[in-house]
Amino acid sequence: MVQPIKLSELANRKRRNSADNHNDSSDESEIDISSTDSENENPQNEDKDDEEEIVNIDFDFYNGNPEVDFHALKNLSRQLFGPVESNRIQLSGLADLILKSPTTTIKTDGTESDPYCFLSFIDYKENKSSDYAKYLKKVDSRLSTFLQTVDNASNKTCALIMSERLINMPPEVVPPLYRITLEDVTNALGDDKHYDFYILVSRKYEVNFDMDNDDQDGKDRTISADRSKKRVKSDEVDYFHEEDRLFEKHAKIHFQSDAKKGIISSYMVLDHAGILKGIDELEQEIATW
């Protein structure tokens, strides 16, 4: 169990600059998004399942570092979009966009370690010819129409939000993560400016999803060809990111894909006030936990 984190400690923790980074970083990320806790289970420890272990973890906030973070950001982006959608996106190009944009990463073992979480605001108009912007325009007519409206409005700005984290990252890190990065955006734009709109892509999952007969013997599969294709699932949907539930409430546009193996892609368009309201409400909820 991760020890609860005080929001005040996170918000006041000074993010370290990347000026002292070394140039001998590894070419490959240490993050393995396919690993599970079950791989390290020891049957001899089953009688200790009810015991709680408190682990003290320092979450430090850093700017994106091209010398260190490239491969980890690719892996986290692949996790975000899933195996199907990520094949439609040039993830290397997307990682480059992230690293040249206002980006905050969270690490636990110094600036040269892999990030376990990141948040980035990519300027849409500056990168509307990028592969990722073209991907968004093809997702759904609602997104392409909205982006065309932004293209036609010289006084409107839009950021493409990229955010993902390892599944066991506590949601307490999210409010300070957004506040730090939004402050970086304001500094980058100058004159206390902020973006007018934000496009956020995220994901949800069907609770208790399973594939019927996927692990059955061959003789069971021959009972009915149709039955072997049935999926057993509940109607309940839950969120990988706790903040998405609140962002959806304040979104100007929100739609989602059909479930693919229990995973649902979620697309949102929010204005600046909507982003701030969602973060404020998440912070208020966390304070009651």
Go through 222-249 and write b for each residue having 16 or more CB atoms within 10 A of its CB, e for each that does not: eeeeeeeeeeebeeebebbbebbebbbe
Pairing of strands 117-123, 103-107: antiparallel
> What percent of the chain is helix, strand and coil (3-state, nearest 5)?
40, 20, 40
The string of pLDDT tens digits covering residues 165-176 is 999 899 999 999
CATH 3.40.50.2000 fits 7-13+58-288, yes or no: no
Lowest mean pLDDT among 8-22, 69-83, 217-231: 217-231
Question: How is residue 16 written in tokens?
Answer: 């370290």
pLDDT at residue 138 above 90?
yes
How far is the C-alpha of 184 from the C-alpha of 171, rounded, in Å? 21
Helix (H) / strand (E) element for 247: namely helix 242-250
pLDDT at residue 210 above 90?
no
Note the pLDDT of residue 231.
44
The reported pTM is 0.78
**pLDDT classification of 25: cutoffs 50, 70, 90:** very low
pLDDT at residue 41 above 60?
no
How far is the C-alpha of 146 from the C-alpha of 30, rounded, in Å? 38
- Let me know: does 118 contact 162? Beta carbons within 8 Å: yes
